[in-house]
Every structure is written in C-alpha cells, then in structure tokens.
C-alpha cells in the first residue's frame, strides 16, 4: 500500500498545482477587476493599490510571484477585506464551517445508509415507499425554503431550539439538519439501489442457505458490498460540506466560510478565491484517497497497486 500512497501523494500535488494555475489564469483574464467601481478611483490611488497587491505586472510575473508566495505558505492578502490576510480569514471562518459540515456529514451518511437499507429490505412495503417519497421531497426543497420552515416550526412555533447563532449544541441542530437533508436523500436512494442489486447475488443465496436470517445476511455480507458506491459518493460530499454553505450560513446567521468563498468570486478577490480553491481541492483529493483505502478494508478482493 505504501507505494500506492506515495504515487497518489505525488499525483495529488500535481493536480492541486494544476487547479491553482487554472484558477489563477481564469481569475486574471476575466474582464473586470477587484477595484472596478461605478466611479474610477484616482490614478495614483489605483497604481498604489495595484503595486501593493502585485497586480500591475504581466500575467507571467503575477503568476511567478503568486506561486513563489504559495511555496512559502503565504496565501496573500485579501483585496476586499482590508488588513486581513487570506490565512487569517480562513482560520477565523473555516472552523465553524468544519463543525457544521462534520455534523451534517454524520447525519447525511448515517441516516441515508439506514433509510436506504430499510427501504431495500422492505421493497414495495410502506417503509420503502415512505423513505423514497421523503427522499424526493428532501431533494426537491431547496435550503432557502427548508431553512426558514425549520426555524418557523422548531424555533418560533414549538420553541424547542434557538432561531440562529452559533456556539452551542442546540444552535447546531437546525442548520445541520437543513444542510444534511438533501444528502440524506441522495445517500438513501443510492444505498437502496445498490443493496437491491446485491441481494440478488449468488453469495447471498448461499448465506441464506446456510441458515442466516435476512437481517444477518445483510449485516454480515451484503452491506459491505452494497456500501461501496455510497462510499464513492461520500468522499466528494465530505469536501463539499466541510467548506461551508452560503445559504445555510446566511439563514441561520453563522459566521462561516461559505459566504466569503462566494464573495471572493463576486468581488474578484483573487487571493481569497485562490485560498478557497486550495482548501476545497485539497480536501477533495484527501477524501478521494481515503475512499480508495476504505475500499480495501470493506472488500478484500480490491487491491491497491502502485
């Protein structure tokens, strides 16, 4: 496994470098700039800002300067958030998004796998129909609708949970449920379809013939195989959830990374945009590598080769 991990680590660095380079070029060649306003700033002010943020050189000079800074672990200064470095913004905003995303990921994966398994084991019964109808509703309702609905129901009407904010366990419940709901549905549908295929396999018939009950056969044998497509989906999902959701953070008044990542695109904040891409791409590469390793633990037929 070690040669495989080393090869993947090397290829991951190349992938991240290519993504950073493409993002840099696209951000620079897109018309407009971070200092564009309805009223042009004085020329000497504009020149000073461009010199400060190293935006007055050629594209190649800017690229070399940016890559050199990254090599020294310097993500640069935010252009729109004055007197803030990109690293400082990420240190302040990412922890909240990481916690919210982690809770939502646990809910999405756990509830989704459970519902999908129950639906497959009771195909055609009311459990199956209820789970799939609920999944369809969860996918169809966007977060900017489900969020206010959860607030109105559990915070304003029942008074069980706070309206918004962040820092306590009760404040995490509603935003985590809102963020996780559509992905519970995706995981449940994926797990159901995968498990239905596995239940038709010959090795399950053999397990039943040996005297195992349906529940025992699924728990000991079928689930390990059926969950592999779900694991493939959960890798990118983890990277997506951990980097924040602008809609959920706005609805529940959470100071997270989702909003600043979206604003970095709207504001043409090229250094903050670069930092967001580096974080997301790194998480995506790491979780995809973790998915490959988990495959070998769940299915001994799968081998990792260098």
pLDDT tens readout for residues 191-205: 998 888 888 877 777
How far is Cα 16 from Cα 195, in angstroms, rounded to an integer? Answer: 35
Length of the chain counted residue by residue = 306
Alpha carbon dihedral 179, 181, 185, 191, in 10-degree steps, equals 70
How far is Cα 244 from Cα 123, in angstroms, rounded to an integer? Answer: 35
Q: What is the pTM of this model?
A: 0.82
Specify the pLDDT at position 34.
Answer: 59
How many helices (DSSP H) and strands (DSSP E) are in the chain? 14, 0
Mean pLDDT of 57-85: 80
Question: Distances in Å between the alpha carbon of 182 and those of 135, 187, 274, 291?
Answer: 7, 9, 28, 21
> Per-residue pLDDT for 105 more than 90?
yes
Q: Give the contacts of 82 (CB within 8 A, at least 6 positions apart).
A: none
Query: Which DSSP helix (H) or strand (E) runs through 145?
Result: helix 143-150
Question: Distances in Å between the alpha carbon of 117 and those of 78, 127, 139, 306?
Answer: 47, 10, 19, 34
Mean pLDDT of the chain: 81
Question: pLDDT higher for 263 or 280?
Answer: 280
Lowest mean pLDDT among 5-14, 186-195, 199-208: 199-208
Model pLDDT for residues 114-172, shown as the tens digit of each residue: 999 888 888 888 888 888 888 888 888 888 888 889 898 888 888 888 887 787 888 88
Q: Give the contacts of 304 (CB within 8 A, at least 6 positions apart).
A: 1, 4, 292, 293, 296
User: In terms of Cα–Cα distance, which of 192, 185, 211, 183 is closest to 122?
Assistant: 192
Q: Give the contacts of 248 (CB within 8 A, at least 6 positions apart).
A: 100, 143, 147, 175, 178, 179, 254, 258
Reported confidence tier of residue 35, pLDDT bands at 50, 70, 90: low
User: In terms of Cα–Cα distance, which of 54, 85, 78, 70 is closest to 21?
Assistant: 70
Specify the pLDDT at position 38.
Answer: 46
Mean pLDDT of 50-71: 76
Q: Does domain 89-298 have CATH number 2.30.30.220?
A: no
Reported confidence tier of residue 67, pLDDT bands at 50, 70, 90: confident
> Per-residue pLDDT for 288 more than 70?
yes
Mean pLDDT of 2-31: 83
Q: Give the contacts of 165 (CB within 8 A, at least 6 positions apart).
A: 171, 252, 253, 254
Residues of CATH 1.10.3720.10 domain(s) within the chain?
A: 89-298
Model pLDDT for residues 229-246, shown as the tens digit of each residue: 888 888 888 888 887 787
How far is Cα 214 from Cα 223, in angstroms, rounded to an integer? Answer: 12
Angle, to 10 degrees, between the axis of helix 228-242 and the axis of helix 169-198?
A: 160
């Amino acid at each position: 496994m070690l040669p495989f991990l080393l090869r993947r680590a090397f290829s991951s660095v190349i992938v991240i470098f290519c993504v950073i380079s493409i993002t840099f070029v696209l951000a620079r060649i897109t018309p407009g700039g971070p200092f564009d306003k309805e009223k042009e700033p004085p020329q000497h002010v504009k020149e000073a800002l461009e010199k400060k943020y190293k935006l007055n050189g050629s594209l190649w000079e800017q690229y070399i300067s940016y890559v050199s800074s990254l090599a020294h672990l310097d993500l640069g200064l935010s252009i729109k958030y004055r007197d803030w470095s990109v690293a400082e913004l990420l240190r302040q905003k990412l922890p909240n998004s990481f916690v919210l995303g982690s809770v939502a990921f646990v809910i999405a994966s756990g509830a989704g796998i459970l519902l999908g398994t129950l639906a497959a084991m009771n195909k055609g019964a009311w459990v199956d129909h209820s789970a799939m109808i609920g999944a369809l509703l969860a996918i169809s309702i966007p977060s900017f609708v489900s969020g206010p609905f959860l607030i109105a129901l559990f915070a304003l009407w029942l008074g069980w949970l706070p309206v918004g904010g962040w820092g306590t366990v009760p404040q995490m419940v509603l935003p985590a449920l809102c963020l996780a709901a559509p992905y519970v549905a995706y995981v449940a549908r994926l797990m159901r379809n995968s498990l239905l295929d596995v239940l038709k396999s010959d090795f399950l018939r053999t397990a039943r013939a040996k005297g195992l009950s349906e529940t025992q056969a699924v728990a000991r044998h079928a689930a390990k195989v059926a969950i592999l497509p779900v694991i493939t989906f959960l890798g990118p999902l983890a990277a997506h959830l951990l980097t924040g959701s602008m809609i959920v953070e706005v609805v529940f008044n959470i100071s997270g990374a989702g909003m600043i990542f979206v604003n970095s695109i709207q504001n043409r904040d090229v250094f903050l945009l670069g930092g967001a891409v580096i974080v997301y791409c790194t998480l995506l590469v790491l979780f995809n590598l973790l998915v490959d390793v988990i495959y070998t633990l769940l299915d001994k037929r799968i081998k990792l080769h260098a």
